[in-house]
């Protein structure tokens, strides 16, 4: 059986209740949701509503309608950038970001549509709120940062950054791909205006799920126009949230799984999940310290990290190491640049990248011991 340690990409396995909920929903209620439809359509619509209520409670949004279901976190981020930014805007981001933040912003910069400042993280992979404050100009419309690095797991001081950003009346976008379901977030207290998340990582839903929270003060343009399951006589996309941003048949089967995933996370408790995952990376880090020529990246203080750790070896480049772990030991980790080239350049690990290990709630110390044993065998 594969030892899966790639939960930063997507969580696996999902809790049993998620598989069961999707099976049940798929067999009994998988109709096209619609506010003006038959009983099954209404039941499917109810599942979407339930998911929105759960997200809103979980992250303390202003109302369930402000949560828009998306394909994944990338979809949510694109919806936010392309729907909100206007010609001549200045945007601040960081060198820690995933390509789903970096690429749309860089493309807009190359087109001459926006100007962009990329603030550098320090050696631990942490952003300095003062550096962001200093970078804000009268043209700055948005500060866009990830809550935790997907390469080294460092959690960013988003409370302090949110404070700085709100004081200057700039929009604050947070990419919660690596923290949703692991680190508590209150979008209102943290002054978050746009909050993008995947449903398929820490929230334990299936792939094909994600969401964007749009605070009431944000002006956003339509993303894709089409059917909304109601108000069909309207010649253009109805302005009403969330339908304004949700044209077309939504992934209601995925949302049924996501809602159950959120319930599971709530019943386990975020702190317990994070402590378990970070504890496993600590255990690995201690074992890696004993292998010659291995360098580990990230914050040494476990309280500043989620359960994601990166390392590299002088003996073997990350892609080869990843291949051997997969082929010879059936251990799934993620080697390479992790869609985050700028931080690898800063760490000095470009272009081979690192080996990223990201345990999930169902991994055990025995899994980490198998990985550490395999590494000792390969690298000695």
Q: Give residues in contact with ligand PLP (CB under 6 A).
A: 9, 72-74, 98, 100, 146, 150, 175, 177-178, 198, 210
CB-CB contact of 118 with 105 (8 Å): no
Kindly tell me which of 9 and 318 has the beta carbon lying closer to ligand PLP. Answer: 9
Kindly tell me which of 9 and 48 has the beta carbon lying closer to ligand PLP. Answer: 9
In whole angstroms, give the CA distance from residue 171 to residue 144. 8
Kindly tell me which of 59 and 228 has the beta carbon lying closer to ligand PLP. Answer: 59
Give the shortest CB-178-to-ligand PLP separation in angstroms.
5
Give the shortest CB-164-to-ligand PLP separation in angstroms.
21
Measured over the CA atoms of residue 11, residue 100, residue 272 and residue 60, the dihedral's sign is: negative
Give the shortest CB-249-to-ligand PLP separation in angstroms.
19
Give the shortest CB-257-to-ligand PLP separation in angstroms.
14
208: left (phi over 0), alpha (psi -120 to 50) or beta: left
Give the shortest CB-155-to-ligand PLP separation in angstroms.
12
Give the shortest CB-55-to-ligand PLP separation in angstroms.
15
Give the shortest CB-101-to-ligand PLP separation in angstroms.
6
Kindly tell me which of 140 and 149 has the beta carbon lying closer to ligand PLP. Answer: 149
- The closest alpha carbon to 312, from 328, 326, 299, 297, belongs to 297
Kindly tell me which of 66 and 338 has the beta carbon lying closer to ligand PLP. Answer: 338
Kindly tell me which of 77 and 375 has the beta carbon lying closer to ligand PLP. Answer: 77
Q: Are strands 194-198 and 210-214 parallel, antiparallel or unpaired?
A: antiparallel
In whole angstroms, give the CA distance from residue 152 to residue 309. 5
Q: Which residue has the tokens 């800063």?
A: 346
- The closest alpha carbon to 374, from 299, 300, 316, belongs to 316
Q: What share of the chain is helix, strand, coil (3-state, %, to 5)?
A: 40, 15, 45
- The closest alpha carbon to 15, from 178, 202, 153, 179, belongs to 202
- The closest alpha carbon to 332, from 4, 95, 41, belongs to 4
- The closest alpha carbon to 183, from 210, 203, 211, 206, belongs to 203
Kindly tell me which of 61 and 153 has the beta carbon lying closer to ligand PLP. Answer: 153
């Amino acid at each position: 059986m594969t030892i899966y340690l790639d939960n930063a990409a997507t969580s696996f396995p999902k809790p049993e209740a998620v598989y069961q909920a999707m099976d049940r929903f798929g067999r009994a209620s998988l109709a096209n949701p619609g506010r003006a439809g038959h009983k099954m359509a209404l039941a499917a619509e109810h599942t979407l509503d339930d998911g929105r209520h759960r997200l809103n409670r979980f992250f303390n949004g202003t109302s369930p309608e402000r949560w828009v279901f998306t394909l994944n976190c990338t979809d949510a981020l694109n919806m936010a950038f392309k729907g909100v930014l206007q010609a001549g805007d200045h945007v601040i981001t960081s060198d820690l970001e995933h390509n789903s933040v970096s690429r749309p912003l860089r493309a807009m910069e190359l087109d001459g549509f926006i100007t962009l400042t990329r603030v550098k993280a320090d050696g631990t992979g942490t952003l300095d709120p003062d550096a962001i404050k200093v970078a804000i100009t009268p043209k700055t419309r948005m500060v866009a940062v990830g809550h935790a690095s997907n390469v080294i797991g460092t959690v960013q001081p988003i409370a302090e950054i949110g404070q700085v950003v709100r004081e200057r009346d700039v929009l604050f976008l947070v990419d919660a791909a690596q923290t949703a379901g692991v680190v508590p977030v209150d979008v209102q207290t943290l002054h978050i205006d746009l909050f993008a998340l995947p449903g398929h990582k820490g929230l334990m839903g299936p792939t094909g799920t994600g969401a964007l929270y749009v605070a009431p003060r944000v002006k956003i343009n339509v993303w894709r126009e089409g059917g909304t399951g109601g108000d069909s006589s309207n010649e253009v996309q109805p302005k009403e949230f969330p339908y304004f941003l949700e044209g077309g048949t939504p992934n209601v089967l995925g949302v049924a799984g996501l809602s159950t995933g959120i319930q599971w996370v709530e019943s386990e408790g975020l702190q317990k999940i994070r402590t378990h995952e970070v504890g496993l990376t600590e255990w690995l880090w201690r074992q890696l310290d004993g292998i010659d020529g291995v360098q580990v990246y990230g914050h040494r203080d476990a309280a500043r990290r989620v359960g994601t750790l990166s390392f590299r070896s002088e003996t073997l480049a990350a892609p080869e190491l990843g291949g051997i772990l997969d082929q010879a030991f059936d251990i799934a980790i993620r080697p390479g640049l992790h869609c985050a080239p700028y931080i690898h350049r800063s760490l000095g690990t470009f272009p081979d990248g690192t080996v990223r290990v990201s345990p999930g709630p169902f991994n055990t110390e025995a899994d980490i011991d198998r990985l550490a044993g395999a590494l000792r065998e390969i690298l000695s």
